[in-house]
């Protein structure tokens, strides 16, 4: 028993190290999930069975699905770029990081659903439905931002998981991007519920643009602004 323990002790140290390595697998799994989410709405794009001559009308009727596909695709693409921008700075993972990553994937997977609800409600034109859909979409946006906030916060507290070249304050600063999302989506929900639905939709469209431009982080964005090109 004593001998076995003696043999086990260094093995434990090796294990501790091994538990912190599989970033390849976390990234491969995430890529597969992103790939499914980004194409999930294509599965919805099947033309309804129509009478001869009715194709044009049937296809035109589906415009909210097309719009939902395009905007969801862009949003998930931005999410993937942000994910890549984050994880290429990560050297290894532990269980906490896995769970925050799973939270990001979970909330990202809700985007296509919220987008379809929103586009259908706007098509139907009922005020109550529109407000509901705006609030639902904003709620998904808040949850998504909270997941990213948790991921950034976790990385800012676990410097040992990061690549050598990452500046010490990098992920601390990135939390600001996620916090901004929480506030912006909450404001959009309020604006949609109490004021104008189109203004809320405008905020929804601007946010992915912001996150696309800053997908390599605030650090990178500031550098680009100082040195164009």
- Scanning 97-105, 148-156, 175-183, 198-206 for contacts with a copy of itself by CB under 8 A, the matching segment is 97-105
Taking every pair of Cα atoms in the chain, the longest distance, rounded to a whole number of angstroms, is 84
The only residue of 1, 2, 3, 47 in contact with a copy of itself, by rule CB under 8 A: 47
CB 34, CB 76: distance < 8 Å: yes
Question: Which residue, 122 or 149, is less far from a copy of itself as judged by CB?
Answer: 122
> Would you call 153 exposed, middle or buried from its count of C-beta atoms within 10 A (0-12, 13-18, 19+)?
middle
- Check residue 109 for interaction with a copy of itself (CB under 8 A): yes
Phi, psi of 15 (to 5 degrees): -60, -50
Question: Which residue, 124 or 183, is less far from a copy of itself as judged by CB?
Answer: 124
Question: Which residue, 15 or 183, is less far from a copy of itself as judged by CB?
Answer: 15
- Scanning 12-20, 172-180, 182-190, 199-207 for contacts with a copy of itself by CB under 8 A, the matching segment is 12-20
d(CA 19, CA 114): 36
- Scanning 35-43, 137-145, 153-161, 177-185 for contacts with a copy of itself by CB under 8 A, the matching segment is 35-43
Total residues contacting a copy of itself by CB under 8 A comes to 77
- Check residue 211 for interaction with a copy of itself (CB under 8 A): no
- Check residue 138 for interaction with a copy of itself (CB under 8 A): no
Please report, for residues 80, 88, 202, 206, the alpha-carbon distance to residue 209 in angstroms, rounded to integers and kept in the order given: 14, 21, 11, 5
Residue 225 DSSP code: H
**Least distance to a copy of itself, CB of residue 48, Å:** 10
d(CA 77, CA 65): 18
- Check residue 61 for interaction with a copy of itself (CB under 8 A): no
CB atoms within 10 A of CB 149: 20
Specify which residues 209 forms β-bridges with: none
Question: Which residue, 35 or 206, is less far from a copy of itself as judged by CB?
Answer: 35
- Check residue 182 for interaction with a copy of itself (CB under 8 A): no
């Amino acid at each position: 028993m004593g001998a076995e323990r003696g043999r086990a002790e260094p093995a434990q140290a090796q294990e501790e190290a091994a538990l912190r390595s599989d970033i390849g697998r976390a990234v491969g799994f995430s890529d597969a999930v992103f790939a499914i989410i980004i194409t999930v709405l294509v599965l919805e794009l099947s033309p309804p069975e129509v009478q001869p001559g009715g194709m044009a009308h049937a296809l035109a009727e589906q415009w909210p699905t097309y719009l939902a596909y395009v905007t969801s695709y862009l949003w998930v693409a931005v999410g993937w770029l942000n994910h890549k921008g984050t994880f290429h700075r990560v050297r290894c993972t532990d269980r906490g990081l896995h769970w925050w990553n799973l939270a990001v994937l979970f909330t990202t997977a809700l985007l296509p659903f919220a987008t379809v609800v929103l586009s259908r409600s706007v098509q139907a034109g009922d005020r109550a439905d529109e407000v509901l859909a705006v609030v639902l979409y904003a709620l998904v946006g808040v949850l998504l931002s909270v997941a990213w906030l948790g991921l950034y916060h976790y990385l800012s507290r676990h410097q040992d998981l990061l690549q050598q070249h990452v500046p010490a304050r990098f992920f601390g600063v990135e939390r600001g991007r996620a916090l901004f999302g929480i506030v912006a989506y909450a404001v959009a929900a309020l604006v949609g519920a109490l004021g104008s639905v189109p203004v809320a939709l405008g905020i929804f469209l601007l946010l992915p643009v912001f996150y696309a431009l800053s997908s390599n982080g605030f650090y990178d964005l500031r550098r680009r602004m100082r040195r164009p090109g």
